[in-house]
Amino acid sequence: MSAPGGGDLAARQAELVAALVAGGPLPAGFAPAPVDAARRALLRKRAGDVARHWPLLAAGLGDAWPATFAGWADGRPTNGSLRDGWDLARELHRRGELPRLGAEELAVREAASRYDGATPPRPRRLPALARAGGAVAVRLAGRVRLLRPARR
């Protein structure tokens, strides 16, 4: 517990952000319900941001997008919208829950860039082939094309 004006603003801000995005405990003195409302509002904001970077993934999930994203993102701090959407798409792919549009978007992204899951994706320089959910995308001569759509 921190005293007001104790010169520990940095630590208290860090505690608060951890509570909001990383599943950390509620810092002392804060009202639980408003902070929880803010936590959920942050998840909705993130869902919208990621949907802008991964429009087909979000469209493929339709009405289930906000809950699907929130379920995955709760307690998981953001690595930026591009990587968040990428990680979620791979996770849904592993679970066999990636919708067709999302599979096509993921295949195209995997063909275009190399992403190790830990550092920012980097554009590929060499020809590459990527698959997800039956979708096949290829990067050839600097252009990325979807060769085959995902399975219906």
Decide if residue 83 touches other proteins (CB under 8 A).
no
Decide if residue 18 touches other proteins (CB under 8 A).
yes
- Are 139 and 128 in contact by the 8 Å Cβ rule? The answer is yes
Decide if residue 76 touches other proteins (CB under 8 A).
no
Decide if residue 5 touches other proteins (CB under 8 A).
yes
List the one residue from 54, 58, 61, 78 that touches other proteins (CB under 8 A).
78
Q: CA of 132: how far to CAs of 8, 38, 103, in Å?
A: 48, 35, 5
Distance CA 67, CA 145 (A): 31
- Are 57 and 86 in contact by the 8 Å Cβ rule? The answer is no
Distance CA 95, CA 73 (A): 16
For other proteins, which stretch binds (CB under 8 A), given 4-12, 101-109, 110-118, 127-135? 4-12
The count of other CB atoms within 10 Å of the CB of residue 48 is 14
Residues 29-48 that bind other proteins (CB under 8 A): 29-31, 33-35, 37-38, 40-42, 45-46, 48
Q: What residue ranges bind other proteins (CB under 8 A)?
A: 4-7, 9-18, 20-22, 28-31, 33-35, 37-38, 40-42, 45-46, 48-49, 52, 77-78, 80
